[in-house]
Structure 1
Amino acid sequence: MRLAAIALSSLLLAGCATAPDRDGRLQPGISRGEDVIAWHGQPRRVWPEADGGRTLEYSSQPIGRHCYMIRFDAAGRLLGVTDGLSPASRARIEPGMTPEQVSHILGGERSRVFFRLSGEDVWDWTIEPDQIGYGLRFNVHFKDGRVLRTSQSMVFPSRRFPGMDD
């Protein structure tokens, strides 16, 4: 009985762990928003689009490294799935953008820190590392409500608390 419960739990977790970009059930032009919500749960945010469509945001922040943006047309049909934290999406962040524009591309941030002396509000996202061994964060620096610049920072393992990032 216990073995059957463990097997069932594993199957359920595996089904939940299927990332939207690899989910074979999502078919462009066929799948609908209700299908995605039934399979992946409620999105973190729903973004209305200028063409009458909408984008469902599935962010794995603060710990995960992806933010799936699932885009639908005005009729509610799936157009596509993108990872808001992919290198291509991060490259779309330009000086002068507003926080809302940045969030619409990257999804919800991991954290925000305000630096009083520089007047910068820095938001960060955990992203896939470029090299093995250290974590990586993508940072967007805002000043006066506009993007000033972007940067990346490495995350070194904690010496005091092994397994946790500094």
Structure 2
Amino acid sequence: MRITALASSIAICSLLLAGCVTAPDRDARLQPGVSRSEDVMAFYGQPRRIWPEADGGRTLEYSSQPMGRHCYMIRLAADGRLVGIEDGLSPASRARIEPGMTPEQVSRILGTERSRVLFQLSGEDVWDWTIEPDQIGYGMRFNVHFKDGRVLRTSQSMVFPSRRFPGLDD
């Protein structure tokens, strides 16, 4: 009897947790043209940042950095209705980063970065984001290299697991 009750409790907890981790782009509760900003915030809480749009709308940024691999940009019309949801760290979004862009332009596409490192000798300020890996077993970072306040180039780097501290990747 105890084992059955324990198994039932574990099953219920698993289902509840699965519901909590639904990504906004796959959440059936969010419908373009129907859902409103209040609905989004009720399901996902306060966004990390809110970006104003030229047409009076807003984009809500839900970044999972530093450990997550997605940044959901939820676009709202001026009346607060949902227009669309995009993962700012998808391959298509990362491909939009071009030389000459400003840090703000990059942040509006990719969202909040995981970290920033300034390399004194080269003068490069490198921002990185944790992204989905190309292969199983290694973590992956997308890097944007800035020089003089403009994108110089982008790169990707593999993250090898730590031998001294298992579970930590850098």
In structure 2, what is the equivalent of residue 38 of structure 1? 42
Q: List alignment gaps of at least 5 residues for structure 1.
A: none
Compute the displacement of 1:133 (Å).
1.2
Asked which structure has the greater CA Rg, the reply is 2
Question: Does residue 121 of structure 1 match 2:128?
Answer: no
Superposed CA RMSD: 1.6
**Aligned partner of 2:162: which letter?**
S
Distance 1:104 1:43 in 2: 13
Alignment match of 2:82 (pick from 64, 69, 78): 78
Inter-partner Cα distance in structure 2 for 1:68 and 1:4: 33
TM-score in terms of structure 1 length: 0.94
Structure 1 residue identity aligned to 2:39? D
What does residue range 6-17 of structure 1 map to in structure 2 within 5 Å?
9-17=13-21
SS in 1 for 2:93: helix
Shift of 1:116: 0.3
What percentage of residue pairs aligned between the two structures are identical? 83
1:148 partner SS: strand
Aligned residues: 166
AA at the equivalent of 1:148: L
Given that residues 16 and 40 in structure 1 are in contact (C-alpha distance below 8 angstroms), is that contact kept between their aligned partners in structure 2?
A: no
The amino acid across from 2:38 in the alignment is E
Q: What do the CA deviations read for 1:3-33 (whole angstroms, capped 9, x no partner)? A: 8876665454333211101100000000001
Letter in 2 for 1:142: F
> 1:128-147 CA distances to partner (integer Å, 9 max, x unpaired)?
00111111100000011110
